[in-house]
Amino acid sequence: MDHPTLHHLNAPQRQAVTTLDGPLMVLAGAGSGKTRVLTRRLAWIIQQQQASPEEVLAVTFTNKAAKEMRNRVQALLGLDAPAQAHRFWIGTFHGMSARMLRQYADRLGFERDFTILDSSDQERLFKRLCEELGFADAYWTPKRLTHTIGRWKDDGIRPQDLTDREIRKAWERARIQQMYERYQQALLQSNAMDFGDLLLHCLQLWQQEPAILAAFQQRFRYLLVDEYQDTNHVQYRWICALSGLHQNLCVVGDDDQSIYSWRGARIENILKFEEDFPQTKIIRLEQNYRSSGNILKAASGLINHNKGRMEKQLWTEDAQGDAIHFYQAENDEDEARFVASEILTLCPAGDYQQAAILVRTARQTRSLEEGLMRAGIPYQVVGGLRFLDRAEVRDALAYLRVVASNRDDVAFERVINLPKRGIGPGALQSLREIASQERCSLLHAARFAVESNTMKGAAAKGLAAFIQLIEHARSMLADDITPAEMLTKLLALSGYRDYVRDLEKGNDRIDNLDELRNALARTESLQLFLEEVALATDLQDGGPVANRVVISTLHAAKGLEFPWVFLVGVEEDVMPHKLALTEQPEIGLEEERRLAYVGMTRAKQRLYLTMARRRWLFNKPVMPIKSRFLKELPQEILEDRGFRVSSRRGATGSLAGLPGGSLHHQKVRFPLR
| DSSP H stretches of helix in 190-209 | 195-208
Catalytic residue among 5, 13, 34, 553: 34
CA distance 325 to 638: 6
47 assigned to active site: no
Question: Taking the mean position of all CA atoms in its chain, how far away is CA 344?
Answer: 32
281 is in an annotated binding site: no
Residues whose CB is less than 8 angstroms from the CB of residue 545 and which lie 6 or more positions away in sequence, other chains included: 353, 380
Is-contact 189 215, C-beta < 8 A? Answer: no
Is 28 annotated as ligand-binding? yes
CA distances from 316 to 285, 292, 305, 629, 635 (A): 12, 7, 21, 23, 20
Catalytic residue among 390, 407, 602, 615: 602
- Whether 573 sits among the annotated catalytic residues: the reply is no
Distance CA 337, CA 374 (A): 9
H-state helical runs in 209-331: 210-219, 233-242, 268-271, 273-276, 293-303
What angle, 0 to 180 degrees and rounded to 10, lies between the N-to-C axes of helices 457-478 and 442-451?
120
CA atoms of 578 and 148, how far apart (whole Å): 22
Q: Prior bond to 378 cis, omega within 30?
A: no
CA distance 434 to 436: 5
Q: Is 292 annotated as ligand-binding? A: no
- Render 27-72 in DSSP notation, one character per residue: EE-TTS-HHHHHHHHHHHHHHTTS--GGGEEEEES-HHHHHHHHHH
Quick one: which of 563, 521, 562, 515 has its CA closest to 539?
A: 515
- CA nearest neighbour of 38 among 62, 63, 57, 11: 57
Q: Does 580 count as an annotated binding residue?
A: no
How far is CA 177 from its chain centroid?
27
Residues 6 or more apart in contact with residue 17 via CB below 8 angstroms: 5, 6, 9, 37, 40, 41, 44
Does residue 384 have a known ligand-binding role? no
Residue type, 525: S
What's the distance, Cα to Cα, between the start and end of the chain in Å? 53
Q: Does residue 652 have an active-site annotation?
A: no
Q: Is beta strand 620-622 parallel, antiparallel or unpaired with respect to 603-617?
A: antiparallel
31 is known to lie in a ligand binding site: yes
User: What CA–CA distance (Å, rounded) separates 53 from 222?
Assistant: 10
CB proximity list for 167: less than 8 A, separation 6 or greater: 173, 176
Catalytic residue of the set 121, 123, 154, 226: 226
Rounded to whole angstroms, the Cα distance separating 30 from 33 reads: 8
Active site residue 122: no
Other C-beta atoms closer than 10 Å to the C-beta of 616 total: 18
Please name which of 361, 254, 305 lies closest in space to residue 589, comparing C-alpha atoms.
305
Give the other-Cβ count within 10 Å of 118's Cβ: 20
- Would the annotation count 192 as a binding residue? no
Coil vs helix vs strand at 292? coil
Q: Is 329 annotated as contributing to ligand binding? A: no
From 5, 115, 122, 257, active-site residue: 257
Per the omega criterion (within 30 degrees of 0), is the bond before 419 cis? yes
In the residue annotation, 34 being an active-site residue is answered as yes
Q: Look at strands 549-553 and 603-617 and give their pairing.
A: unpaired
Say which of 15, 18, 19, 35 is annotated catalytic. 35
What CA–CA distance (Å, rounded) separates 142 from 126? 5
Return d(Cα 367, Cα 334) in angstroms, integer.
Answer: 9
Q: Which of 118, 154, 194, 227 is labelled catalytic?
A: 227
Residue 172 annotated among the catalytic residues of the structure: no
Which parts are annotated binding residues for ATP? Answer: 28-35
Binding residues: 28-35
Please identify every residue annotated as catalytic. 34-35, 226-227, 257, 602
